[in-house]
Structure 1
Amino acid sequence: MASFSTPSEASLPWSNPRVCVLGDVMVDAYMWGSVSRMSPVAPVPVVEVTQREQRVGGAGNVVKNLHALGATVDVIAVVGEDEAGRMLHGLLATMAKPTLLVDPSRRTTVKTRIISDGQHVVRVDEETTDSIDEAMQSLARNSLLTLLQGNDKPDVVVLEDYDKGFFSQGLIQAIIADCHTHDVPVVVDPKLKHFLDFTGVDLFKPNLKELNEGLGLQHPVSPLDAPAMAAAVESLMAQLRCDRLMVTMGEHGVWMHAPSEGVNHAVIPAFPRDVADVSGAGDTVIAVAALMLASGSKPKDLATVANLAGGWVCERVGVVPVTREALESELQRLKLQHTVKP
């Protein structure tokens, strides 16, 4: 069983995990500069750009975290026949084996943030969010099946939905069925459009806002009202028929419900943090949760380590992936150790 204790050093329960990520990948582009004047043709500032950078975003950030944590990663996604798609392939190839299906009718999602003197001025989005067609869905499913039927099938599959068109109800159910046929667990980080379509998964991880909006609650629940929160969690679990439901709640920690494993509405409190930036924390949490699940960890241990990793990220400015070394250092610092015993 998996357990926590307080020995002299901390360790994590995985060694060389293989993970497949499917979902919406994108380019996060940044332009830094400073404002020196106002535009003569409109009451807007003129930013003189001094630096540019492109990074993987969306499901790509989950890939980045998994790579930093020591996993071997495959990623399956759809991009446009454009420079951004080619750039994304190059960026992902440094950390994973990318299978990027090219759809000439789509634009690769690019989110450009313009930052002046440390302040976020504006974000410009270029994207196509219509659902991919059936031909692309078949290619995506077949790409996963090739991995599942191979000699090095993934230990866990992560479905990372950003509502950018990769997932449909049919593709979701086909992926889940294929994974379970090959005894591979599925974890999900949802968005709203297909929130209730991910039925039968092994771990479903919404945040508190997504829980409220996904259930369409007229009166949003709060972790400060435990009975209402528990009722919402049970309602969602009944609709999804999932094995484990983990809700991230920011400064309130994590709510874990896995009744089939004897865990009923466990609240893992957040560790005290000097929060600098919450960007990317959810991607870090799902990456760590996937590795913990694939390693056979118990629900409370899974939630504790994932919560710890998300908190570590929040203390850093920008989208920063957690490394295995950093997470083990955190476990040591907080006098926690994770071990898996036969």
Structure 2
Amino acid sequence: MNDLAAFSPGRILVAGDIMLDRYWFGEVNRISPEAPVPIVRVQRTEERLGGAANVARNAASLGANVGLLGVVGDDEAGRLIEGKLAELDIGNFLQRDSMISTIVKLRVIGRQQQLLRIDFESPPGQVVLREKLMNFNALLPEYSIIVMSDYAKGSLVNVAEMIATATRLGKRTLVDPKGDDFSRYAGATLLTPNKAEFRQVVGAWRDESEFVEKAQRLRVQLRLEALLVTRSEEGMTLITGDKTMHFPTQAREVFDVSGAGDTVMATMAVMLSAGKTLPEAVQWANKAGGIVVGKLGTATVTREELFA
């Protein structure tokens, strides 16, 4: 599988909910006298790109030319994100909304275990969303693969229009969906729900044949080229018009699943931009997911790790 020398990914535009992942690492040696909770003595802090920005970060780590489109607040967290994009040479197409705060997820880690997560978020306003849509339309001709990373935080309220416009221009659109209504993603090239998200939309299944039947029905209903269901320890299943392919998990040791879906989506986009077929792209994405869950927090996979 070592194709590193000949590997040449294309240009990828990532649009969606942009976040800053903050980590506070510390020691836990006693319980608070005020409440039955551990006291964490913070020793170091770290900030990482999260949400759609983590998808862009993963794609850049694999050597793709990446642009990132989304909304941040006019605040310290937003400026940190912009700085990290510059460090990674990711195209910065962020819209600033002075009326909101940048989405921040703060995780408190003690003894390498997550003890608490605190979320700060507010949806972007209509004016900045209209500006983002105009920017998206202007950027489309420059990219071959469009990734839409939906965390249901408000940045992709126009996703149906975005997919329709990208499709008219012959772009392949990959969507990481959210919610119990996937109709707004109709016409996309590929949808990548996890098992829980898929069940929320189609209901439970009794066996594998019913799972495939429900998946194929959803694919046809939404006019998708393919549907990729990520199934945790069960691996991944790719459903296309003429076949169903299952890929067993390649995780050797699961340490942290945070951001694993971002890594899978980014790897799919990078491989498709490099000319791989859908099954080939899933094979590589499955391997990348198996690597990243062995790392702490929203991590990335390097080209060297993937092609080892």
TM-score per shorter chain, which class?
over 0.9
Which residue among 232, 236, 244 is the counterpart of 2:226? 244
Q: Which amino acid aligns with 2:182?
A: F
Aligned sequence identity (%): 36
**Residues 303-314 of structure 1 aligned to structure 2 (within 5 Å):** 303-314=282-293
User: Could you say what the CA RMSD is over the residues aligned between the two structures, in angstroms?
Assistant: 2.0
Which residue among 27, 32, 37 is the counterpart of 2:20? 27
Q: What is the aligned length?
A: 307
1:184 partnered with 2:171 = yes
- How far 1:140 sits from its partner (Å)? 1.1
SS in 2 for 1:52: strand
- How far 1:56 sits from its partner (Å)? 0.7
Does the CA contact (< 8 Å) of 1:196 and 1:214 recur in 2? no
- How far 1:43 sits from its partner (Å)? 3.7
Aligned counterpart, 2:99: 105
TM-superposition CA deviations, 1:127-163 (whole Å, max 9, x none)? 11x3x343222211111222224xxx11101000111
Aligned counterpart, 2:257: 278
Q: Which amino acid aligns with 1:252?
A: E
Which residue among 71, 87, 92 is the counterpart of 1:94? 87
Aligned counterpart, 2:294: 315
Q: Which stretch has the larger CA shift, 17-26 or 233-242?
A: 233-242
Aligned counterpart, 1:134: 126
Does the CA contact (< 8 Å) of 1:76 and 1:99 recur in 2? yes
- How far 1:193 sits from its partner (Å)? 5.6
Does the CA contact (< 8 Å) of 2:9 and 2:274 recur in 1? no
Does the CA contact (< 8 Å) of 1:74 and 1:97 recur in 2? yes
Quick one: distance in 2 between partners of 1:289 and 1:172? 20
Aligned counterpart, 1:71: 64
TM-superposition CA deviations, 1:70-127 (whole Å, max 9, x none)? 0111101111122111111112222211121111222211111112233322111111
**4+ residue stretches of structure 1 with deviation over 3 A?**
9-14, 35-45
1:205 partnered with 2:199 = no
Aligned counterpart, 2:182: 195
Which residue among 152, 161, 167 is the counterpart of 2:156? 167
TM-superposition CA deviations, 1:204-233 (whole Å, max 9, x none)? 111111100133x1xx237xx211111220
- Structure with more relative contact order (C-alpha pairs < 8 Å, separation 6 or more): 1
Quick one: distance in 2 between partners of 1:14 and 1:192? 35
Which residue among 235, 239, 259 is the counterpart of 1:253? 235
Q: Which amino acid aligns with 1:236?
A: L
Quick one: distance in 1 between partners of 2:59 and 2:268? 10
Which residue among 52, 57, 79 is the counterpart of 2:50? 57
Does the CA contact (< 8 Å) of 2:11 and 2:273 recur in 1? no
Gap regions ≥5 residues in structure 2? none
- How far 1:245 sits from its partner (Å)? 0.7
SS in 2 for 1:197: helix
Rg larger in structure: 1
Gap regions ≥5 residues in structure 1? 1-5, 330-342
Which residue among 263, 268, 272 is the counterpart of 1:293? 272
Q: Which amino acid aligns with 1:155?
A: S
Aligned counterpart, 1:233: 215
Q: Which amino acid aligns with 1:258?
A: T
Q: Which amino acid aligns with 1:324?
A: R
TM-superposition CA deviations, 1:152-178 (whole Å, max 9, x none)? x1110100011111111xx11221122
With normalisation by structure 2, the TM-score equals 0.92
- How far 1:37 sits from its partner (Å)? 4.3
Residues 14 and 214 of structure 1: CA distance in aligned 2, closer, same or farther (over 3 Å): farther
SS in 2 for 1:121: strand
Quick one: distance in 2 between partners of 1:235 and 1:73? 33
Aligned counterpart, 1:337: none
